[in-house]
Amino acid sequence: MSEEKEASLKEKLLKLLNEMKPWEKKPVLKAGRIIVEIVKLPERKTKASIEPERLVIHIRREDAFRGLFIKNPEELDDLTAAIKTHKIKEILEALAEIEESRKIQEYEL
């Protein structure tokens, strides 16, 4: 990304941070049944520290309210690595087969 585009993106994000209400969402993209949006999290106080209001990426299914909040590039890298593993794909394929077989309902005549 060029420095000019990066600066423009940062300006837009800072504007959103200042204008959005806590928990407000702004859609970024939709890929199939997955929605990616920006969410403003409210200030969070703990015994040890105070986290200021911040923007995060929220990834969720279109028919779900809950999803994953991604705060930094490292978390996105970890998520990408996890879901790209062969094991996850095998499990999802097996689950899809199970789900398909359960859709058949037989009724007595």
Instruction: Give φ, ψ of 94 to 5 degrees.
Output: -65, -40
Largest CA distance in the chain: 71
Cβ atoms of residues 68 and 60 within 8 Å: yes
Query: What are the pLDDT digits (tens) for 47-74?
Result: 999 999 999 999 999 999 999 999 999 9
> Under 8 Å CB-to-CB from 59, ≥6 apart: which residues?
34, 35, 36, 67, 68, 70, 79
User: What are the chain's domains?
Assistant: 3-102 (3.30.720)
Arithmetic mean of pLDDT over the chain: 92
d(CA 94, CA 39) in angstroms, rounded, equals 33
In this prediction, residue 79 has a pLDDT band, given cuts at 50, 70 and 90, of very high
CB count in 10 Å sphere of residue 40: 19
